[in-house]
Amino acid sequence: MQKIEHIGIAVKSIKEANLLYEKLLGYSHYKTEEVKSEGVKTSFYICGESKIELLEATRSDSPIAKFIEKKGEGIHHIAYAVKDINKETQRLEKEGFKVLNKTPKRGADNKWVVFLHPKSTGGVLVELCQDVKE
């Protein structure tokens, strides 16, 4: 793992959360992006070496909708930047972590992503991410 790439935060309304985060951070987001496959709309803020990713569900069967239903708004996942996502996934699997998708999928902000089940990581959904090289 290289650094915390971003912290994902589940919100009911990106519009309202943007107003809050603009006040909190003192500047605006640098992009919004919809990830149709995950049923989410995202809003990204730079914060030093890391980012904040706000996530709003776009459909009722979205993982974010289910998360908010169960736990309410709040921290949804921690994403770590990795150099070689396939190698890191194999290493973590060997260590006994439960990998949710062994084949990296396209996430927001031009990344390959793999998720680890919170049951195997002490209750925190973990995302590994690597920049997509065009």
Token couple for 65: 């909708």
The contact pattern for Co ion, residues 40-79, with x = CB under 5 A and - = no contact, is -------------x-------------------------x
Q: 112 is written with which tokens?
A: 């390959």
Number of alpha helices (DSSP H) and beta strands (DSSP E) in the chain: 3, 8
- Between strands 40-47 and 50-57, the pairing is antiparallel
CA angle in degrees (0–180, nearest 5) for 101-45-30: 105
Q: Which of 8, 11, 56, 82 binds Co ion (CB under 5 A)?
A: 8
Site string for Co ion, 100-129 (x = CB under 5 A): ---------------------------x--
Find the shortest distance in angstroms from Cβ 101 to Co ion. 13
79 vs 116 by CB, closer to Co ion: 79
Q: Which two tokens stand for residue 129?
A: 């991410």
> What is the contact surface with Co ion in residues (CB under 5 A)?
8, 53, 79, 127
